[in-house]
Chains A and B, each alone.
Chain A
Amino acid sequence: KAGVTQTPRYLIKTRGQQVTLSCSPISGHRSVSWYQQTPGQGLQFLFEYFSETQRNKGNFPGRFSGRQFSNSRSEMNVSTLELGDSALYLCASTMASAETQYFGPGTRLLVL
């Protein structure tokens, strides 16, 4: 069974630009969660989608948004990038929210 895939793997942007990251969950998984990982803050929850609906949202500004498609694939968007948005963005999928989350390899975003 294929694991969680994320594209692109690496991205370099400049301040003020916007970026879209993509996540394809494990086949059959309907819940997708996004996390931001930085050396200082560790893994911080961004949002969770289940059946195309945002079910949970972390404490991030409105510049961070996401969506989920009918095939469970998910995208997250960050608008008006700031230097502090440089991080590893991780996507995780589960069949249902209460079960074990399986992570993708992440997208490394560098904002210059």
Chain B
Amino acid sequence: EDQVTQSPEALRLQEGESSSLNCSYTVSGLRGLFWYRQDPGKGPEFLFTLYSAGEEKEKERLKATLTKKESFLHITAPKPEDSATYLCAVQAPSGNTPLVFGKGTRLSVIA
């Protein structure tokens, strides 16, 4: 069974204190790995899609990387507005398989 594990469950950072969130997965092959941001009471907002090991993508203070077993979301010099839950999801390559989500990392950035 495909599984996605995110760590840590919660992370508290001071403004400007860089860190990384981890997403490890077990899936037979990988069609894509997706990162989303979710604010309380809202739907997930798409951030990145990664397709192959070694791939990296950046957006503002966020950078996502992918290896054969895990992905990292690096947050550089975070600001309070980066506080949210960050979700990782994977899609297996066989057929039209649905996304499998991790339970997320709840990030709090304190001014």
Contact = CB atoms under 8 A, between A and B. Distances in A.
A56 B98 contact: yes
A33 B32 CA distance: 17
Nearest to B45: A103
Contacts of B89: 43
Interface residues of A, number: 25
Interface of B: 31-32, 34, 36, 41-46, 49, 87, 89, 91, 96-104
A64 interface: no
B101 A43 contact: yes
B44 A103 contact: yes
Contacts of A42: 87, 101-104
Interface stretch (A12-20, A65-73, A75-83, A104-112): A104-112
A90 B44 contact: yes
A56 B96 contact: yes
Contacts of B103: 42
A105 to B, nearest CB: 5
Contacts of A97: 96
B96 A45 contact: no
Contact of A101 (B41, B42, B99, B102): B99
